Every structure is written in C-alpha cells, then in structure tokens.
C-alpha cells in the first residue's frame, strides 16, 4: 500500500510538471533575453550532458553562486583525499557556473543540472552514472531524488536549512515531501533548529544531524588585500568614507539610494557601493541613481577620472573585494521579502553589519550576530541612514561591532571538516 501511495504521488507530480513544461521553456527564453548567459548550454537543462563529463563521479549540486562558494572548500578537500575519484559539480544559474569555474577550474567536471522532468533526469543519470549525489542546502527535487534512489545512488543533503516558512510549505505538501525526504540517506543541517524541522516533517531522527554551516569556513583569498588596494585606487576611493549595500534586489535599491541622500547631507564625500544580487541589473540601477541627481559608474570600468557618488558593482565574484573597501555593510534581500543574504562574508572581514527585517534565510546566523552586538536591524530608509550614519561617525563603535562579527564567524567554524567526515563514512569503497 505504501509503494502504491508513493507511485500515485509521484505520478501526480510528474503530470503537473508536464503541464508546466511549455511555461518552463518560455520562462527560460524570457530569462535569456534579460540575461544572455541563460541562452547558452540550454540543452543541459533538459538532460544533455557535455561530452567531457566522465561517468562515476561524486556529484555535487550547488545551485547558484552562494552554494558554489560554500561547497568549493569541501570539494577541494575531497579532491585532495581522493585523487583517483572524479567529481561533477552542477549549478542552475550562470553565476553559480562562473563560481565553479573560478574556484575549482578543471579539477572537476561541470555542467548545468537538469530540470526535474523525468525524461531529463533519466537522460542525465544514464550518461553520468554518479557514485553519490550530494545536494546543497534546500535543493529537494522529487524526480531527481527518487530516480537516483531507484538506481541505487545514495543521496545526501548537506548544509541543509529549513526555515519556518519553508517548513510550513513542505508540511502543506507532505503528500509529496514525506516520501522524497524519506529516501535521502542523511541530512546534515546547519543548526539544531533546522534539524528539528526536518524531523517534524517526518524524517527519521537517526538520519538527521546538526553539523553547522560550511559557510562559516569561508577562506579569504590570499591576494584579497592587494586586489582591494588596486580597486580602491582605480575607483578613486583612497580618502573617502564608504558604505556598501550588497546583494540587493528590486524594491530595496530605491530605499538604499534615499538613505544615501540623507547620509550625504552630513557626509558630502560619502560613497555608496551598490552591488545588486544579479550584476546584469547594473544599468537599470545606474539609471535609478541618475534619477536622484547622483553620479555613478560601474565597478568594471577603467580607472576613475573623477569622484562618483555611487559605484554599482557589475562584476561577478567581486563582492568580497568590494566589502573590503567599505566601513559599514548593509546586507540586501532584507528590506524586501526575499529572506536576506549571507551576513557571514562581511562578518569575516570584520565589518559592522546592518540589514532589514526579512532575514529568515539566515535566522540562526542573524540571531548569533545580534546577540553578540554585531548586527543592527532597520525597517526603512530613514532608519538605515540613522544607523549607518552613527557607525560612520564613531570609529570605535564600528570597530567593536566588526570585531564581534569576526569573533562569531570564527567561533562557528569546523562544519566543513565534520561534513567531510560524514561524506567519507557514506562512500562505498
């Protein structure tokens, strides 16, 4: 009876996917018009595997840039300990793809992962025949997971997170989520809170653990200070106060620019580094800046010949360097209901952190940073200007906040090594 229920559940899911296929393809075409990188390698999204991809790999699926950056040190360690084993790393976005190539190069095979259509997943698995599938964070795709399990491929979910909001959604879809989560061999969570939410969804407690977040183990590039010094000179920022608004989304850039206008009334030389989550939006943001009678330039342009009010980040992989130029960091995706982005990166650089109220993607990290006094929440452009202005005016306060942020990051390290030990224990020799 149980297997019949699972069969009927997945059949209904697959039927819904077939109905959605024309919409998915149309959306991909429209996305490609806005972001030309989505037009390339389109066949990979429907299961076509590039000729150079070798079968029998340990397969990591890292979705986008953030997950790729987080997984890279773990994969590098596994490459060192398993030199005869080949690895495949897939993403869903061009920005994730760029990070894989930048951080792992030709030491791994790389392509896009297939969309969760049965024909695409089967085609992909038939060509790659992975030894193990390792999913990052919240990549719970029913067809992919069930097809892998049916072919005897162990599936692991690492650095897993499950926000309260997501848990409620999975609970409403328990008819689908329970059988899918039930076949995952182990779920390594970022915190005990995330672990409990998976258990509440019906996952066997013996198959769940809390190993911490591998994002705390981010290592700064050895040449970061040199890169930052060169970029600071190129952008003509040597003697100017600077604040950064990073990983921003539509709907919050307007508020950030209004806050910057308020701040410049007190600090006329202040520069804002405005870094959208998606670099292709740089031109639109520049037009918005111009509407407020502020001067701007893109970070990719050559040496600055003048002084600009706003610099818009438009280079993928440049965020850490831009953080290094700032005195105060605002983390975006938080003044809109996106859930916030990674506050660990500015924390590792010893910056005081400011963000909006929508922080559910990193709730536990935010709680630790807030408790340590390293993180300030704001709900409007006025509050943002007030908090950032206070920190810019008080060197001792921002240095204290920054040191506390760094302390939180350092004290939570070690998840990469623990996850490595878990994966090693699950690999059949």
Residue 43 burial (CB count, 10 A) = 14
3-class SS string, 29-81: HHHHHHCHHHHCCHHHHHCCCCCCCCCCCEEEECCCHHHHHHHHHHHHHHHHH
Write the DSSP assignment of 95-126 as a string of letters: HHHHHHHHHHGGGSEEEEPPPS-HHHHHHHHH
Residue 181 burial (CB count, 10 A) = 23
Residues 6+ apart with CB under 8 A from 166: 138
Strand ranges for 296-370 from DSSP E:
296-298, 310-312, 328-331, 353-355
Q: Which two tokens stand for residue 175?
A: 């008819």
CA distance 343 to 74: 20
Residues 6+ apart with CB under 8 A from 138: 160, 161, 162, 166
Residue 189 host element (H or E): strand 186-189
The H-assigned helical ranges of 129-223 are: 142-150, 164-172, 174-182, 192-200
CA distance 266 to 255: 18
**Phi, psi (deg, nearest 5) at residue 138:** -135, 25
From 67, 137, 139, 345, the catalytic residue = 67
Q: Is 137 a catalytic residue?
A: no
- Residues tagged active-site: 67
């Amino acid at each position: 009876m149980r297997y019949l229920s699972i069969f009927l559940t997945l059949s209904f899911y697959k039927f819904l996917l077939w109905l959605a296929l024309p919409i998915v393809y149309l959306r991909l075409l429209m996305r490609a018009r806005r972001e030309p990188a989505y037009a390339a390698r389109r066949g990979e999204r429907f299961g076509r595997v590039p000729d150079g991809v070798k079968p029998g790999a340990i397969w990591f699926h890292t979705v986008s840039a953030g997950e790729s950056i987080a997984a890279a040190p773990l994969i590098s360690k596994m490459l060192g300990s398993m030199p005869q084993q080949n690895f495949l790393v897939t993403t869903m976005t061009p920005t994730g793809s760029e990070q894989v190539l930048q951080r792992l190069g030709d030491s791994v095979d790389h392509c896009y992962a297939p969309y969760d259509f049965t024909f695409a997943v089967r085609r992909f698995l038939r060509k790659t025949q992975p030894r193990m599938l390792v999913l990052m964070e919240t990549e719970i795709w029913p067809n992919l997971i069930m097809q892998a399990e049916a072919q005897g491929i162990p599936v692991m979910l690492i650095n897993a997170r499950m926000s309260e909001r997501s848990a409620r959604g999975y609970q409403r879809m328990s008819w689908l989520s329970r059988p899918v989560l039930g076949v995952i061999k182990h779920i390594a969570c970022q915190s005990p809170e995330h672990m409990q939410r998976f258990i509440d969804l019906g996952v066997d407690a013996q198959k769940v653990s809390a190993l911490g977040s591998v994002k705390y183990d981010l290592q700064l590039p050895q040449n970061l200070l040199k890169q930052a010094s060169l970029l600071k000179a190129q952008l003509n920022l040597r003697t100017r106060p600077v604040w950064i608004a990073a990983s921003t989304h539509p709907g919050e850039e307007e508020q950030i620019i209004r806050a910057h206008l308020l701040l410049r009334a007190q600090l006329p030389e202040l520069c804002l580094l405005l870094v959208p989550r998606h670099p292709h939006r740089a031109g639109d943001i520049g037009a918005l800046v111009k509407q407020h009678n502020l001067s701007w330039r893109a970070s990719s342009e050559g040496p600055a010949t003048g002084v600009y009010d706003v610099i818009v980040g438009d280079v993928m992989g440049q965020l850490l360097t831009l953080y290094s130029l700032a005195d105060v960091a605002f983390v975006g995706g938080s003044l809109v209901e996106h859930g916030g982005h990674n506050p660990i990166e500015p924390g590792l650089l010893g910056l005081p952190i400011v963000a909006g109220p929508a922080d559910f993607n990193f709730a536990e990290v935010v709680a630790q940073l807030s408790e340590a006094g390293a993180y300030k929440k704001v709900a409007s452009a006025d509050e943002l200007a007030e908090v950032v202005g206070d920190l810019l005016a008080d060197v001792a306060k921002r240095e204290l906040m920054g040191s506390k942020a760094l302390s939180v990051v350092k004290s939570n390290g070690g998840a990469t090594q623990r996850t490595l030990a878990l994966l090693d224990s699950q690999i059949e020799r």
